[in-house]
A and B are shown apart, each in its own frame.
Chain A
Amino acid sequence: MTTRAAGTAARGRAATEPADIGTAERAARLLPAGVPIQFLDADGKPTDESRRGIYTEPPADLLVEAYRRMVIGRRFDAQATALTKQGRLAVYPSSHGQEACQIGGVLALRPTDWLFPTYRDSMALITRDIDPVEALTLLRGDWHCGYDPKAHRTAPQCTPLATQTPHAAGLAYAAKRRGEDTVAMVFVGDGGTSEGDFHEGLNFAAVYQAPVVFLIQNNKFAISVPLTKQTAAPALAYKGVGYGIRSEQVDGNDPMAVLAVLQHAVESARAGEGPVLVEAHTYRIEAHTNADDATRYRDETEVAEWQRRDPISRLESYLLSTGALTDEDIGAARKQAEVFAGQVRDGLNADPKVDPLELFDHLFTEPTPQLREQRQWLSEELEGEA
């Protein structure tokens, strides 16, 4: 071959092959499964091995625990919805239908790990054993956070979407620096993945190899805006590769798969393998909150279709079929859920104690002279009213 022809041939090759084969291989290893991981189909029947990827079935006792907690979670969610209609809560964003993610996320964590929830993750908070009244304080409206985040290793419920993503990265990096084996899990919605802080949080977590698991609960809606208007990505799970973050996508209504994938992700992060991104495909059965009218932007047939893929009934079917659950167990779980719902009612039906003067007390460790002055003026106003 002449020199000119060899040059042309070389350029032709360069145009079709990646110059650095290592990069392509590296990227491939970060990509999620092409089809969401699934262990149980919508009827609770075990799926083929090919749907399970690298993941292993969680132990039966953990699955039974997950089942019990999902039953409690759903009953709690329904109770909170009812209390909102009665005016005991200012607003309630329901996670009905997302029980596998709510419970699976928490059960994959140790008590010493940290959770960074959003305003929709009340079910996860009570699964984390936060007192239900404390968990609902934000939504009742007597204070912006009802629980001690450090005592529960659970960040305050975050309202500005995705802004807690860099917090989780920073806290997890700090834990790594201090030699702790703490993992941080942050919940983000499909809408939240469009926010700039989602991008920045993932980038920081990856650059610093922070032990963070990002769980995207893709429930298909950001209030009324459907996923198709939110992204052109093949799936949200493909957003991870751009940061060098290993990613996975999972059937978010399959509690077994969600647990399997999240446990693997958490332990992988804990072992120092870096952050992990998991997209869980699920559905928001209720409207955005009690104040929203979902009929304005979606069809009841779509909702019914997703109700047929219910996470609780599919796990229940499976566990009954293996004998891990009996009808008595199911009855006991439902009874326990009713007792819990009663506690929630009692707690929320009592009027919250509010001290308006407390509004000035927590801005700084030492109030400024101006805050003391204003506290005094409000105090005089209140005395005048008395």
Chain B
Amino acid sequence: MPTMTMAQALNAALRDAMTDDDSVVIFGEDVGTLGGVFRITDGLARDFGPDRCFDTPLAESGIVGFALGMAMNGFKPVVEMQFDAFAYPAFEQLVSHVATMRNRTRGAVNVPMVIRVPYAGGICGVEHHSDSSEAYYAHTPGLKLFTPATVEDAYSLLRQAIDDPDPVVFMEPKKLYWSKAEVTTPVQTDPSGTAAVRREGTDAPLVAYGPTVPVALEAAAAAEAEGWSLEVVDLRTIVPYDDKTVVASVRKTGRCVVVSEAAGFAGVSAEIVARVQERCFHSLAAPVLRVTGWDIPYPPPIVEKYHLPGVDRVLDTVARLQWDDEPDHRFLEAVPA
């Protein structure tokens, strides 16, 4: 089987979608001639022509609003926001219109568009290049939110996102663009809304998505030496969310650790924990714990390693899952009497 990077898999998905459906158009800043700053759209303008893949003015709100107008009139736009933090000017268009147009019109006007966002850190990026903004989109009813962690899923989920009659924010963990796997495309993994158990285990699941999936897998491998059998659940899509797979894993093991790069406070990790404790309380042998970024703006590259959830912090957290029925002093002492 050929080896392919995630970037190449995304490129192949765009290419195949454009071949299969003339109404698919790709646009954004630098996606045409340059092929995108991460080369995800490499060669598309050359091969499909400037009508199918083109460069826009530097205006994110305009890009998303213009795409919405095109989606209202027969096209399927797949737009690129150059980096996570540069998508913020488009936030109003996403929340006030892209997310709500179908609902507001009782289904008369659906919005078949994809907003691709390279997100998260671990690439020594300077300010504004490593944000994890998924919570803002997850919290917006009417937007779907996909985030592949594997090369195969990158292809399969992007094809699904483009075929989806509803809007999808497609968040690509940029540090994984160069990750490799043996994959032949086209490939279909699972329908959106289905999490994947990447590694089976009996002691506790590490529930992760996007950039923390490889961290969770590395931690699970290291955990064997410490005597823990850890399961790894890759959510794949935050909206629609797979309650079933996560619940099954927690009920089986009685414990749960959520691993997410974004700041913990009010993050997607908090939603996962809330849902787990609602649905699995009577199966739990320990509180549900999280390993997340600190509640700080994403730090400068030289100090990002102190912020990112790494293998050590994940294992320290697993150790606090009350294996000896010892209460967790961190939280007992957090609120003094």
**Footprint of B on A, CB under 8 Å?**
143-145, 148-151, 155-156, 160, 163-175, 177-178, 196-197, 200-201, 203-204, 207, 358, 361-365, 368-370
Contacts and interface: CB of A to CB of B under 8 A. Distances in A.
Contacts of B110: 365
B69 interface: yes
B173 to A, nearest CB: 23
B70 A170 contact: yes
Nearest to B110: A365
B83 to A, nearest CB: 19
Nearest to A160: B96
Q: Is the interface of A mostly helix, strand, loop or mixed?
A: helix
Contact of A143 (B97, B106, B142): B106
Interface string B55-86: 01101011011111111111100000000000
B269 interface: no
10 closest residue pairs by CB, A with B: A170-B69, A166-B65, A200-B62, A174-B73, A170-B66, A171-B69, A167-B69, A368-B240, A144-B104, A170-B70
B167 to A, nearest CB: 9
B50 to A, nearest CB: 12
Contact of B108 (A151, A168, A363, A368): A151
B97 A163 contact: yes
B162 to A, nearest CB: 14
20 contacts: A143-B104, A145-B104, A160-B92, A166-B61, A166-B64, A167-B65, A167-B66, A170-B67, A170-B69, A171-B72, A172-B69, A173-B66, A177-B75, A200-B61, A363-B102, A364-B102, A364-B166, A365-B110, A365-B165, A369-B244
Interface string B181-203: 00000000000010000000000
Contacts, number: 136
Interface of B: 51, 56-57, 59, 61-62, 64-75, 89, 92-93, 96-97, 100-110, 141-142, 144, 165-166, 193, 239-241, 243-244
Given A145-B105, A166-B62, A174-B73, 11 more contacts: A148-B105, A150-B109, A170-B67, A170-B71, A197-B93, A200-B59, A363-B103, A363-B142, A364-B166, A365-B107, A368-B193
Contact of A368 (B59, B64, B96, B239): B239
Given A174-B69, A174-B73, A196 B61 contact: yes
B131 to A, nearest CB: 21
B51 A177 contact: yes
A207 B59 CA distance: 12
Contacts of B62: 166, 169, 197, 200-201, 203-204
Nearest to A151: B108
B74 A178 contact: yes
Among A144, A178, A362: residue with most chain B CB under 10 A = A362
A148 B97 contact: no
